Structure 1
């Protein structure tokens, strides 16, 4: 895939050495001429959503913990939800790709939470300036692949990176079984 857009996944390649993104799977939420924004969907923290955001903890999907969304603005929270009925988006929901979208945490929990099948809350996000992400993709730091609605809401994210790569066509699927250090193979 060459065109970056919201809803796609970025999967860190072995060449990406930044510890913030090693083995990361990032859901892109916004891509435009000014840059890109996404959240790392496979890094749960031990902090309960309810301990930080009260009622939103009841709406959060299992595990009901904050996820480390990225190194930017880690003191803030950003939420991603999946609609129970894709034809009935409540106020406070901005679609990213079909039934998956960004949830406004200032909206009433009773209204938004009732319309969601899944909700994940992220502390921080990943952000790139104009042209920065495109340059990282070009240098081989990221695989850009289609996302599936359930990717951001898996209860157990330990195998997410491998599973996302495994479902890709052609040689990219082989990357799912690549050892951390191919020289030791």
Structure 2
């Protein structure tokens, strides 16, 4: 069995679940018990500094919280780009950060993105969805996690794959219009 931790799940154009249509999910955990990831391209109109006051100075003015998924939407998850990769890194210099710590305790943090909620899959559920073609499992790049244009991330990730996968980015929103 291949696990997806540190990779991207990219919704196939025919995925009909409204929570995940045309989404790019960064996988934070995946083992025999299930999987957990955050949606990278569903911004909310809330500045993270309004919720995580201690970290307010770390966010750019235009920063927003992202809807990480439909599970535990009242919980926040922080993903950080650090100065150097470590054993905690998921891809490149990207890792989960404990937002309960003060920024002074994490002086190595260069950039933070905050997610409300997450996508979760029970044991075997994600594997079945991948097998049925609902998701493509693709390599993540550090910049994907912090990509500023949420509405074009899905197409960007698909296009860089080239070939048939790259052409999926041109599919209409409604597959019956194809």
- For the aligned pair, the TM-score class normalised by the smaller chain equals over 0.9
Distance 1:128 1:31 in 2: 9
When residues 140 and 61 of structure 1 are mapped into structure 2, their CA distance, relative to the original with a 3 A threshold, is farther
Selected match of 2:119 from 119, 123, 126: 126
Distance 1:63 1:38 in 2: 24
- Give the structure with the higher percent strand: 1
1:99 corresponds to which residue? 93
| Unaligned residue ranges in structure 1 (runs of 5+) | none
Shift of 1:183: 4.1
Instruction: Give the TM-score of the pair, scaled to structure 1.
Output: 0.89
When residues 129 and 62 of structure 1 are mapped into structure 2, their CA distance, relative to the original with a 3 A threshold, is farther
Q: Please say if residues 55 and 102 of structure 2, whose CA atoms lie closer than 8 Å, have aligned partners that are also in contact.
A: no
After superposition, what is the alpha-carbon deviation per residue over 1:111-152, rounded to whole angstroms, capped at 9, x for unaligned?
A: 22x312221000001111110000011111111111100101
Distance 1:71 1:124 in 2: 6
1:147 corresponds to which residue? 140
Q: CA RMSD in A?
A: 1.8
Q: Please say if residues 60 and 121 of structure 1, whose CA atoms lie closer than 8 Å, have aligned partners that are also in contact.
A: no
1:20 correspondence with 2:19? yes
Instruction: Give the TM-score of the pair, scaled to structure 2.
Output: 0.92
Instruction: Report the number of matched residues.
Output: 178
1:34 corresponds to which residue? 33
Q: 49-58 vs 28-37, which deviates more? A: 49-58
| Unaligned residue ranges in structure 2 (runs of 5+) | none
